[in-house]
Amino acid sequence: MKINSSLLWIAAICLLISGCSNYRELNQLGIITGIGIDQNDDPDKPYRVTYQVINPSGLSKSGSSGGQGLAVINYTVTARTMQEAYGKESGVIPRENMVSHLSVIVIDEELARDGLDLLFDAFDRGKSARTGIPIFIARGKTAEDVLGVIEPLEITPGKNIVSTTKNNQQMYGSSSEVLVYEAISALLSEGKDVSLPGISIRNYSKTAKKTGNFETTTPAILESKGLAIFRKGKMVRWLDGETARAANFVTSDIGRTPVVLPCGDKGNVTINAIGVKSKIKTEIHHEQPVIHTSLNVMGETVDTSCELDLSNPKLLKEFEKKMENKLKKQIKKTISIAQKEKADIFGFGDALSRTNPNYWRQHKKNWDNLFSEAQISMKVNVNVINTGMRVEPYESKYTE
């Protein structure tokens, strides 16, 4: 019994020791929160990868000593592969690397136009694979530049990129968040192409990467801008403004968005589109695909610069019709652009493969050409459910 009791004590001590074996102090870790991937000029080392690492002392804003330095530090290396870059950055980051808190990946536009190929393989393979990370295309500047902007309202550039894009998706809808596994799925699909949100720098200056960026009322800021569309893994063009928003109408990736309609001689009425729901259906007619899209939108009137009696149901019906026609026009224009580029970013081909599997198996190799020539049938239904707390606008004393 004594021997067994001793063995139990030894086993307990071993368990306690092993339980702490993975423990690390914060100042021993290099916590990577963002990765920027640029195309390098050296063909032997095609990737220039920037790792954004948290600076714990910079995060501290309180205490006797206060924060020391910026909240993040960027380290850049060149390599032949992403995994080689991850290994080489251990030579410049003086702490044990940790990617479990990675929150954003930014890709250089030049690299995106050259082709994504198997760029995301390193994020989808191995024990530390991370595929739930949002991806963005750096527009007008390098990914390294984008991750270097220090804004006053967010602690890290990575958090700012994600927050700005989510705000845009909820408030306007010209951008939407795309995760690594979604991009990989589209790259593997024969019936859908990739589309990724763009991020640019507004008011760029030499102080954008310095604390001096805080010392002006118009600092350099990160801006959610446009939608990059791809064909067979290569970026072909940008969609901007209403065309980018229309793409998200088709895929229902919109929280709410204002639609401005004319009223009177010079006035406008703004209706917020909410509850956006779309459906895609395909059929074959005379051996050619016909794509049917239907969009249901609820609307709320949020402002007007016209003398209107919004209690009049005929007037509301008139605005519903105007909104339907405007959305239909924007969506048709966006689909037409995608057809011209032979980039099925909406997944019409995937829908066809489910509804007409036999036809799909015979024609999937030629889907880009079939998509570019496919007939588009569209229905848009708008229902204005709320006119706000005022039926008639207030009358200005300057109105004649």
For the cut 70, the answer to whether the pLDDT of residue 331 exceeds it is yes
- Separation between Cα atoms, residue 168 and residue 179, nearest integer Å: 16
| Number of C-beta neighbours around residue 61 at 10 A | 9
Residue 245 covered by a domain:
no
The residue from 239, 259, 286 where one domain ends is: 239
Q: What is the mean pLDDT of residues 379-396?
A: 77
H-run or E-run covering 110: helix 109-114
Give phi and psi for 28, each to the nearest 5: -100, -5
Query: Do 164 and 303 share a domain, yes or no?
Result: no
pLDDT tier for residue 358 given thresholds of 50, 70 and 90: very high
Same domain, yes or no: 268 and 127: no
pLDDT of residue 62: 39
235 and 262 together in one domain: no
User: If you search the block for the tokens 């920027």, which residue do you land on?
Assistant: 36
Are 220 and 213 a contacting pair, CB within 8 Å?
Answer: yes
Q: pLDDT of 174-183, one tens digit each?
A: 999 999 999 9
Tally of CB atoms within 10 A around 262: 12
Same domain, 87 and 219: yes
**Domain end point (choices 209, 239, 269):** 239
Domain co-membership, 162 together with 232? yes
pLDDT band for 64, please (50, 70, 90 cuts). very low
pLDDT tens track for 76-96:
999 999 999 988 988 888 887
Instruction: Please provide the distance, in angstroms rounded to a whole number, between the alpha carbons at the two ends of the chain.
Output: 105
Is 12 part of any domain? no
Range(s) of the domain holding residue 54: 25-239
Both 129 and 169 in one domain: the answer is yes
Q: Are residues 224 and 100 in the same domain?
A: yes
* Residue 367 three-state SS: helix
User: What is the average pLDDT score of the chain?
Assistant: 86
Same-domain check for residues 295 and 325: yes
Task: Please tell me the pTM assigned to this model.
Answer: 0.87
The pLDDT, as a whole number, for residue 23 is 54
Residue 7 lies in a domain: no
The total of structural domains in the chain comes to: 2
- 180 or 4, which is more confident? 180
pLDDT band, residue 1 (cuts 50/70/90): very low
Tell me which H or E stretch contains 340: helix 313-341
Q: Does any domain span residue 3?
A: no
Q: Is 325 a domain residue?
A: yes
Q: Note whether residue 383 is domain-resident.
A: yes
Residue 55 and residue 198 share a domain: yes
Q: Are residues 296 and 361 in the same domain?
A: yes
Please report, for the domain that includes residue 296, its CATH number: 3.30.300.210
Cβ atoms of residues 26 and 56 within 8 Å: yes
